[in-house]
Amino acid sequence: MSRIPVSLDPFLPRALERRWEGEYSGDDLPRLRAASPDGAGIAVRVAFAVVRGPLGEIRWQAEIEGETEQVCQRCLQPMRWQFRLQPDIALVRSDDRSSKLGEDAERLELGADGLLWPAAVVEDEILLTLPLAPRHEQCGADWDREFEPGEGDREAENPFAVLGQLRGKS
Ligand SMILES: [Zn+2]
């Protein structure tokens, strides 16, 4: 287990089958900090390995675990948002057009420097899963507000809407 470097060349033979581990704060993840309320505590633990996949491709397999804060869109109070992600992504060089990977395979195209910048990739993965309308699981706000008009675009996330659909089917 090694400390995560700022950048690394995942295509070097010595990168294969190694495992890196580290922690990031808001200082390391400025875009996540910008997407969190001011002063939010950001703590992320990361472990990853560079492995060879079934098609000979180089893959980045990571475990990302952590928390930040978001603003609950129901009561507008801060809420803790925890996440646990396990991305498994093929790495391709920017000039590689001979990839055997299918068109829909999840891949990360490296920049012109050919290097993997772990903090940026970890940040991308977290930002992708950031909830659009975060809400407390048990929110103190008045539940009746859910039924005010104009909430239609959020209906898919409304637990009562789901209940209604279930009832409609029975
Ligand atoms: Zn709330």
Give domain limits for the chain. Answer: 2-136, 140-170
What confidence category does residue 63 fall into, taking pLDDT thresholds of 50, 70 and 90? very high
Distance 163 CA to ligand 1 centre (A): 20
Distance 63 CA to ligand 1 centre (A): 28
What confidence category does residue 151 fall into, taking pLDDT thresholds of 50, 70 and 90? very low
Distance 8 CA to ligand 1 centre (A): 41
- Looking at per-residue pLDDT, the higher value among 95 and 128 belongs to 128
Distance 92 CA to ligand 1 centre (A): 42
Q: Which residues of 112-131 are buried (b: 16+ CB within 10 A; e: fewer)?
A: eeeebebbbbbbebbeeeee
Residue 124 DSSP one-character state: H
**In the predicted model, is pLDDT for residue 102 greater than 80?**
no
**In the predicted model, is pLDDT for residue 169 greater than 60?**
no
**Predicted TM-score of the model (pTM):** 0.77
Q: What type of residue sits at position 100? A: K
Distance 134 CA to ligand 1 centre (A): 9
Query: What span, in angstroms and rounded, lies between the C-alpha atoms of 3 and 1?
Result: 7
pLDDT at 15: 92
Distance 4 CA to ligand 1 centre (A): 36
Distance 34 CA to ligand 1 centre (A): 21
- Tally of CB atoms within 10 A around 45: 14
Q: What type of residue sits at position 88? A: D
Distance 121 CA to ligand 1 centre (A): 30
Distance 71 CA to ligand 1 centre (A): 8
Q: What would the pLDDT profile of 105-122 be if each residue is shown by its tens digit? A: 788 999 999 999 999 999
